[in-house]
Structure formats: structure tokens, C-alpha cells
Amino acid sequence: MKWLSSILLLAWCLFSPLALHAQDENYQITHYGEKGFSFSMGFAGTGVGAFYRKALPHYSHIGITAEFFIMRDDKEFQGFDIFGRPVSINKVNRLFFLPVNIEFKKRLFVNDIEDNFRPHLVVQAGTIFGMNFPKADELSNEFQFSLNAVIGLGVDVKNGKDYFIGIRPQYRIIYFPSAIAGKKNHSNLEIKLEVGGWAGRR
């Protein structure tokens, strides 16, 4: 239920009347390119990545993102032993994903919300490389290329003139032609945190 709580909180922030205002004629809306790093936490694993986005007209961006994910098995359980050391139970596979995507990002409600609070829609598509190194010696390592796509709705908060922090629930669709780590479909929900800065002005 933590996922549901996070999504509901984000939705409240996006549409809260506290964030809305009537902009006066002298109000300036800024629009820059973006670059930075990301951290993702999902049902199926965690990942880190980097992104670069070029500013386009109409408060949108086009960019590229590259990430590295460490995936969990469906029945894997993370816990601690009596000495406080982390242990994994039911871990059969050591699965890693490397997606490289082209991204389109569109800022929402530009004229209705303060400039330092930026709701946005993101769509991504590109290639993904899967690597699995099973723990059992009798099983072979697995390597596959496939396609993946992402759609997400989030918000960026501008921190002064130079930086922003973003949070975005998103759904990643991953489907391999043949099974890797025991299944073809590895689609899952993620929460992405981004920390970035501006990459030029438009």
C-alpha cells in the first residue's frame, strides 16, 4: 500500500489549489534544457541512471536516458540475520537490466501553477539489454536484447536558479522474445527520483 499512498500524495500535490495561482502580466516562466542523475525503486528492483534533455518549444523536452537496474526474483525476500547483516532468501537469479531510451517530456499546467512547481508527463521508448547469471552452476547465463517503453506522471520542484528535484511514478513495459530469469514479461511499476540542473536556456 506504500505505492498507493505515494501516488495519492502526488496527485494531491498536482491538483491542490494551494499550488494554483493567477499569474500577472510580468510573471516570467523559465524553460531550460535539463541534465542530471536518477534513482528508481520498483516492485522488481532498483536502478540508477543519468539523463540529458534538450528544451523544445511549448515547454517540452526531447532527451536520452541510460540506466542500470538490479532486479529481484518474484519470490525473493530481503531480510537481516541476527547480526544485522543483509540476507536474501529464495534468490535464484542475478538479473540486471540496462535500458537506453529516447524520452519526450511535456510540462503541464504551465500558465496555472507556480514556475518552481512543474507537473509533467513523460514517455520513453528504446532498447534494453538483459543479463542473468543464475546462482545454480548447472544453469547457463542468459543475455538478451529487447525493447522497453515507459509512461509516467510526476512533478519537478525547482530549487533556486540552478537545480531541481523531481519525483515520478511510472510504469515500464518490458517483454523479451524468450524467457529470461524464468519469464518473458518483466513489466513493473517504479518510483523515480531525479536530481538535476539546467543545460542551457531557450
pLDDT tens digits for 162-177? 889 999 999 999 999 9
d(CA 194, CA 17): 25
Is residue 153 in some structural domain? yes
- Tens digit of pLDDT for each residue in 143-165? 999 999 999 999 999 876 788 99
Is residue 25 in some structural domain? no
In terms of residue numbers, what domain contains 159?
2-15+30-201
d(CA 63, CA 53): 4
For the domain that residue 52 is a member of, what is the CATH number?
2.40.160.20
Is residue 20 in some structural domain? no
Is residue 162 in some structural domain? yes
Q: Give the CA count within 13 Å in the CB-facing half-sphere of 115.
A: 12
Distance of CA 18 to the CA centre of its chain: 26
**Scanning the structure block, which residue is given the C-alpha cell 531480510?**
79
pLDDT category, 24, cuts 50, 70, 90?
A: very low
Residue 106 has pLDDT above 80, yes or no: yes
Is residue 21 in some structural domain? no
What total number of domains does the chain contain? 1
- Tens digit of pLDDT for each residue in 29-88? 888 899 999 999 988 899 999 999 999 999 999 999 999 999 987 755 565 556 666 555
**Three-class SS string for 40-96?**
EEECCEEEEEEEEEEEECCCEEEEEEEEEEEECCCCCEEEECCCCCEEEECCCCCEE
Is residue 170 in some structural domain? yes
Is residue 132 in some structural domain? yes
Mean local confidence (pLDDT), 180-194: 94
Which phi and psi angles does 7 have, rounded to 5°?
-65, -40
CA-based end-to-end distance of the chain: 41
Write down the pLDDT at residue 94.
Answer: 86
Is residue 140 in some structural domain? yes
